[in-house]
A = this chain, B = another copy of it.
Amino acid sequence: MEGVFGTALMLLLVGMITVFFVLFMVVILGKLLIRLVNAFHKEAPTHKKDSLATINQALPPNKLAAIVTTVEVVTQGKGNIKSIDKID
């Protein structure tokens, strides 16, 4: 019976050290990652604005805003307007 308590103590030590070490690496490498990405960061990707601009040409801006807002509200932000075509 003593043996299992020894194992439990070993598990406590190994387990907590591993958990701490993993999350310590997360902190260190996470910070490194942020710095690295910052270093390579030049221009922001503006996909969204592009597509909005494209839509803009076809629709008056107030209608556009209404539709975009509705979609965002309705889909809880999951929705994604790719194109708006008139249906005749």
> Which A residues are within 8 Å of any B CB, using their own CB?
67, 69-77, 79, 81-82, 84, 87
Contact of A84 among B73, B84, B87 (CB under 8 A): B73
Q: What CA separation (Å) do A79 and B73 show in the bound complex? A: 11
How many monomers of this chain does the complex have? 3
Contact between A67 and B71, CB atoms less than 8 A apart = no
Most chain B Cβ neighbours within 10 Å, of A74, A75, A77: A74
Tell me the nearest residue of chain B to A71, going by C-beta: B74
Contact of A67 among B70, B76, B79 (CB under 8 A): B70
Using Cβ atoms and an 8 Å threshold, which residues of chain B touch A74? 70-71, 74-75, 79
Known: A69-B87, A70-B70, A70-B74. 5 other contacts (CB 8 A): A67-B73, A71-B73, A71-B74, A73-B81, A77-B87
